[in-house]
Structure 1
Amino acid sequence: MQKVEYRINRLAGQLRLKIREFTKPQIVEIAGIKLPIPPNISRGPLEALYAGYYEASELKIIQANLEKHDRVMELGTGLGLLASYCAQKLGSDNVFTYEANPALEPFIRQTFAVNNVNPHFHNCLLGETPGMQDFYVAKSFWSSSTIQRKPDDQKIQVPVISFNQEMQIIDPTFLILDIEGGEYELFKYANLHNVRKICIELHSHILGSEKTKFVESKLADQGFYLDPKKRYVNELLFIR
């Protein structure tokens, strides 16, 4: 059923791309959140934005599980959709979001501005120890990662701050992770402190089965289990 829905969404995206040649809208709206369209955006993300399925699975999980007392920590801000949604529901002071790609910062801040929210935003990676790390910027922004996936990915250096230290300071209850395969390295050292819910896109097609099982085992070691009712293709909800 999910594959059929995905194909319908792709067809809808392609149709809306053709309509865009005439209308050229600069902002789309998903779940009440306005998203300005970055210039020179690649075809895949543009389709997702115009068809309305950009981050759709993560959004479904968050809509069903976000509670008024939650405190959110998000790794992988993207264009700021999920952070803006959470900030509208919880207040900006209860949302902390991190994006490694410096090219996305102006668009993230624009998204926050048009939605009248101001979550805590950091343009950096979260890692085991502070410092600098290689990061690979892909043509499609949503494929950028600490893992080089294509020869033409642009390697840059980005600042790193300590994940576990931020976890202690912020004390989140809800963790959102979409870091394009970086979840394997993260769970080698991650202490999830008082987190009760994790919305994660698990990139098994990047990690392979062994590393994917490693991530799942590390979550189980800290008391998390998969909610089978909130499972999509790669987007999952773990709770404890």
Structure 2
Amino acid sequence: MDGHETPRDPYIHSRGLKIPKHPQITTGRVRGALRGGTYERKECDAVSRVVRAGDCVLELGGGIGYMSTLLSVKKKVARVVSYEANPMLLPYIASVHEANGVKNVEVRNALLAPESGAPVDFHIRQNFLASSLDREADPEGVTGTVQVPRHGLADVLPEVTPDVLVCDIEGAEAELLPAGDWSGLRCAVIELHPQWIGQAGVQAVFDAMQRAGLTYFPKASEAKVVTFRRGW
């Protein structure tokens, strides 16, 4: 357990961060992983090895705001631009940032796509974390549908000019990453989803990083979390 909590403590303490308790988000397995310091452990271990103070980070898949908070507080990055398609998570992400004094993270409720275009349907489920673009994953669980803006890579990358990419987008990496010019990156931490993208999708991600001049870095990679960096 990371830190000491009392029954009245409104926070879960995790890796030195304060994570506000929430009846629908910090439940069960998530709560246990946060308290045990194992939440997003592979990604956290990877960024701890390759991210530097002063970096600009582009995060795809903001989740509950944990990684962006860790980057800001522990790694002292200059800026994080975080894309999170799930609008139901935005107030909670803001509460995580506020609890930890984070002021250098910009959260964009949008989908980063190979090309800009019309908004896309995002399906809300009672379990916030199960909400997704894929209605058919659990059609009975959908409680509402909202439209989320779509931002194109060709516009976003020159605007943000990231040093680091942190990407966990549930299989969309196989389509998105090959469509971008990532040659400005120093490193990238990507969670692969081979169960959805298959061997061809995994290869497409590796090829995209190679075209950008980045090399697979095994010391900061574990299982489905792969890290690439420039040079050796």
Q: Secondary structure at the match of 1:105?
A: helix
**Correspondence for 2:107 among 121, 124, 145:** 121
2:82 to 97, 107, 131: 97
Alignment partner, residue 185 of structure 2: 195
- CA RMSD after TM alignment: 2.4
Paired residue for 1:5? Answer: none
- Residue 165 of structure 2 contacts residue 189 of structure 2 at CA under 8 Å; is this kept in 1? yes
Change beyond 3 A, Cα 1:59–1:217: same
Instruction: Write the letter of the residue equivalent to 1:37.
Output: K
Cα deviation, residue 146, structure 1: 3.5
CA distance in 1, matches of 2:126, 2:214: 35
How far off is 1:140 after superposition?
5.5
Equivalent residue for 2:120?
133
Q: Is contact 2:191–2:224 with CA below 8 Å preserved after alignment?
A: yes
Structure 1 position 141, deviation (Å):
4.6
Q: Which amino acid aligns with 1:120?
A: E
Aligned to 2:32: 47
Please show how residues 46-65 of structure 1 align to structure 2 within 5 Å: 46-65=31-50
Change (3 A) 1:215 1:61: same
Q: Secondary structure at the match of 1:238?
A: strand
Tell me if the contact between 2:55 and 2:164 (Cα under 8 Å) persists in the aligned partners.
Answer: yes
Q: Where in structure 2 are there 5+ consecutive unaligned residues?
A: none
Larger strand proportion, structure 1 or 2?
2
User: CA 1:122–1:39 in 2, change beyond 3 Å: closer, same or farther?
Assistant: same
Offset of residue 52 of structure 1: 2.6
Residue 218 of structure 1 and its aligned partner are, at CA, apart by 2.0
The aligned runs of 1:15-164 (5 Å cut-off) are 23=7, 26-41=10-25, 43-88=28-73, 89-90=75-76, 93-118=78-103, 119-127=105-113, 128-137=115-124, 141-142=128-129, 144-148=131-135, 149-152=137-140, 154=142, 155-164=145-154
- Which residue identity is paired with 2:13? E
Higher helix share goes to which structure?
1
Aligned pair partner of 1:230 in 201, 212, 220: 220
Percent identity, aligned pairs only?
29
Aligned residues: 220
- Taking the aligned partners of 2:141 and 2:153, their CA distance within structure 1 comes to 25
Q: How many angstroms apart in 2 are the aligned matches of 1:153 and 1:226?
A: 39
Q: How far did residue 136 of structure 1 move?
A: 4.2
- CA 1:202–1:152 in 2, change beyond 3 Å: closer, same or farther? farther
TM-score by length of 2: 0.83
Which runs of 5 or more structure 1 residues have no equivalent in the other structure?
1-11, 13-19
